[in-house]
Structure 1
Amino acid sequence: MLHLRLITPADRTDDVVRLVEKTVGTTHLVVLRGAARIPAGDVVMCDVAREAGDELLSALQELGIDRSGSIAVENIDLSLSERAAEAEEEAPGEGADAVLWEHLTDATHEESALSVTYLAFITLATMIAACGVLLDNAVLIVGAMAVGPEFGPLAGVSTALVQRAPRLALRSLVALLVGFALAMAATVGFSLFMDAVGLFSKDKLEGARPNTSFVYAPDAFAFVVALLAGAAGTLSLTSAKSGALVGVAISVTTVPAAANAAVALAYGDTRQTWGSTEQLLLNLFGIVLAGTLTLLAQKWFWGRQRERVRQGAPRAPELG
């Protein structure tokens, strides 16, 4: 369930109340006349099943409540209410499958910010991966994958393509390009420093590395894994199952490929530099492609669910 707290102009409150009352899957409606001060107006609160949340939010925006008042949404972790259970039963589909497009856009907008923290994480992840590829240490590679924050901007690109949000697309692309460029440049300097103190060497880079040689040898499997990871990561964002993102992060070789390209560039190994760059681009493209297709599929599915509700069709039978 979701909890909505609205501040509405007094002359729009009745419209909002009627909208909430006619939306399938809503309950616990509360109206506090004149309770809001900044901005001035009434406070309307209600609970809504997650699967009905996007339709209600879109309708509230059409009324202009986001411009003339306020719309705040919170997740309800626990609701002991028979009426809430009935509302969830009445709403179409399942809450875990629902997509809140405004929430997704806001989340990816925040995750794709070119902040100092983002740049620090991607740079540190690339340096950790550089140590991993030189030592042929799979544990360090996995750790670097988990630290890397690049999935946020990648999801931002996919969301921007589906929602036709050019500003989000530009913001995400800038975060990706600047982030990887800075991280790889810093890793080149880091590699030269490690070589100067005797911890890195060209022999280690060009020697046998059975555990990490895949980062500069792109193949069909790398693209397939990127597609699967992109789909899984997008589903984890839209269904609020963020724990799955850790698994997604350690499934793709974006950061390790960038690290290997940087180390190889430091030693003038053009073969590994180009191979790693191809691996990086292949993974980035695969994740964005899969994420975009996943969001399009979800948008089509929920469009059909809404149409079923409008036509008064019965809910599709649940599995199990």
Structure 2
Amino acid sequence: MLHLRLICPAERTDDVVRVIERTVGTTHLVVLPGAARSPAGDVVLCDVAREAGDELIGELRTLGLDRTGSIAVENIDLSLSERAEAAEKEAPGEPADAVLWEHLTDATHEESTLSITYVAFLTLATMIAACGVVLDNAILIVGAMAVGPEFGPLAGFCTALVRRAPRLALRSLLALVVGFAAAMAVTVAFSWFMDAVGLFTEAKLEGERPQTGFVYAPDWFSFVVAVLAGMAGTLSLTSAKSGALVGVAISVTTVPAAANAAVALSYGDTEQTVGSTEQLLLNLLGIVLAGTLTLLAQKALWASQRPRMTKPD
């Protein structure tokens, strides 16, 4: 269940209440006339099944409540109420399958912001992966994958394509391009330093690497895994099952490929640099393609449920 706290002008309260009452899956409606001070107006509280949440929020935005008042949404961890149980049964579908598009857009907007923290995490992940590829250490590679924050802007770009939000698409693309460029540039310098102190050597990079050689040898399996990971990551975001994102992060080789490309570039190894760059781009393409198609499928699924979201007059 979701809890909505609304602030609306007094002259729109009746319209807001009518929208809530005719939306399936709503309950616990409370109206507090004149309770709001900033902005001034009435406070309306209600609970709604997650399956009907996106429909209700969309109707409230149509009334202009996001401009003239406020729409706040919270997840309810526990609700001991027979009315709440009846509301969830009334709403079509399952809560885990519901997509809150406004929440997804807001979340991916934040995650796809090019910030110092984002670049720092991506750079540190790439440097850890650089140690992994030189040492042929799979544990370091997995750790670097888990640290990398690149799925945020990838999800933001997929969301922007489906929602037709050019500003979010540009923001996400900027975070990806600038983030990886900065991370790889710093990793090149890091590789030079590690070589100077004798911790990195070209012989280690060029030697047999059974654990990490795959990062510069892209194949169809790389693309298939990226597609599957993109689907899993998108479902994790839309269903609020964030734990699955860890598995997604360690399924794709974006960060290790970028790291191998940077180290190879520092030694002038064109073959590994090109191969690693192809691996990186192949993974990014697979995730974006899968994420976009997954969101489109979810959008179509819930569009078919739309007529059932409103109670008959």
The TM tier, using the shorter chain, reads over 0.9
Q: Does the aligned pair in 1 maintain the 2:22–2:310 contact within 8 Å?
A: no
Return the alpha-carbon distance in structure 1 between the equivalents of residues 104 and 21 of structure 2: 25
Q: Which residue of 2 aligns with 1:179?
A: 179
1:19 maps to amino acid: V
Query: Which structure is higher in RCO with an 8 Å CA cutoff and minimum separation 6?
Result: 2
Q: Which residue of 1 aligns with 2:96?
A: 96
SS of residue in 2 equivalent to 1:3: strand
Matched, 1:261 2:250: no
Q: Which residue of 1 aligns with 2:50?
A: 50
- Counterpart mapping for 1:16-95 below 5 A: 16-95=16-95
Return the alpha-carbon distance in structure 1 between the equivalents of residues 305 and 38 of structure 2: 37
Q: Which residue of 1 aligns with 2:139?
A: 139
Matched, 1:222 2:211: no
Return the alpha-carbon distance in structure 2 between the equivalents of residues 305 and 98 of structure 1: 11
1:158-192 C-alpha deviation (Å, 9 max, x unpaired): 00000000000000000000000000000000000
Q: Which residue of 1 aligns with 2:238?
A: 238
2:48 maps to amino acid: V
Return the alpha-carbon distance in structure 2 between the equivalents of residues 52 and 246 of structure 1: 28
Using a 3 Å threshold, how does the CA distance of structure 1 residues 22 and 311 change in structure 2: closer, same or farther? closer
Return the alpha-carbon distance in structure 2 between the equivalents of residues 265 and 243 of structure 1: 35
- Counterpart mapping for 1:161-310 below 5 A: 161-309=161-309
For residue 310 of structure 1, report the CA deviation from its aligned partner.
5.4
Return the alpha-carbon distance in structure 2 between the equivalents of residues 131 and 117 of structure 1: 21
Using a 3 Å threshold, how does the CA distance of structure 1 residues 92 and 72 change in structure 2: closer, same or farther? same
Return the alpha-carbon distance in structure 1 between the equivalents of residues 311 and 253 of structure 2: 46
1:243 maps to amino acid: G
Q: Which residue of 2 aligns with 1:315?
A: none
- Root mean square deviation, CA, Å: 0.9
1:82 maps to amino acid: E
1:206 maps to amino acid: E
2:15 maps to amino acid: D
Return the alpha-carbon distance in structure 2 between the equivalents of residues 207 and 173 of structure 1: 35
For residue 307 of structure 1, report the CA deviation from its aligned partner.
2.9
Using a 3 Å threshold, how does the CA distance of structure 1 residues 17 and 240 change in structure 2: closer, same or farther? same
Return the alpha-carbon distance in structure 2 between the equivalents of residues 133 and 273 of structure 1: 13
Using a 3 Å threshold, how does the CA distance of structure 1 residues 66 and 310 change in structure 2: closer, same or farther? closer
For residue 308 of structure 1, report the CA deviation from its aligned partner.
4.2
SS of residue in 1 equivalent to 2:305: helix
TM-score by length of 2: 0.99
TM-score by length of 1: 0.97
SS of residue in 2 equivalent to 1:72: strand
Using a 3 Å threshold, how does the CA distance of structure 1 residues 152 and 270 change in structure 2: closer, same or farther? same
1:84 maps to amino acid: A
Q: Does the aligned pair in 1 maintain the 2:24–2:310 contact within 8 Å?
A: no
Q: Which residue of 1 aligns with 2:150?
A: 150
For residue 285 of structure 1, report the CA deviation from its aligned partner.
0.4
1:123-145 C-alpha deviation (Å, 9 max, x unpaired): 00000000000000000000000
For residue 306 of structure 1, report the CA deviation from its aligned partner.
1.4
Using a 3 Å threshold, how does the CA distance of structure 1 residues 15 and 94 change in structure 2: closer, same or farther? same
**Gap regions ≥5 residues in structure 1:** 313-320
**Size of the alignment, in residue pairs?**
312
Return the alpha-carbon distance in structure 2 between the equivalents of residues 219 and 77 of structure 1: 44
SS of residue in 2 equivalent to 1:99: coil
**Gap regions ≥5 residues in structure 2:** none
SS of residue in 1 equivalent to 2:304: helix
For residue 251 of structure 1, report the CA deviation from its aligned partner.
0.2
Return the alpha-carbon distance in structure 2 between the equivalents of residues 79 and 299 of structure 1: 28
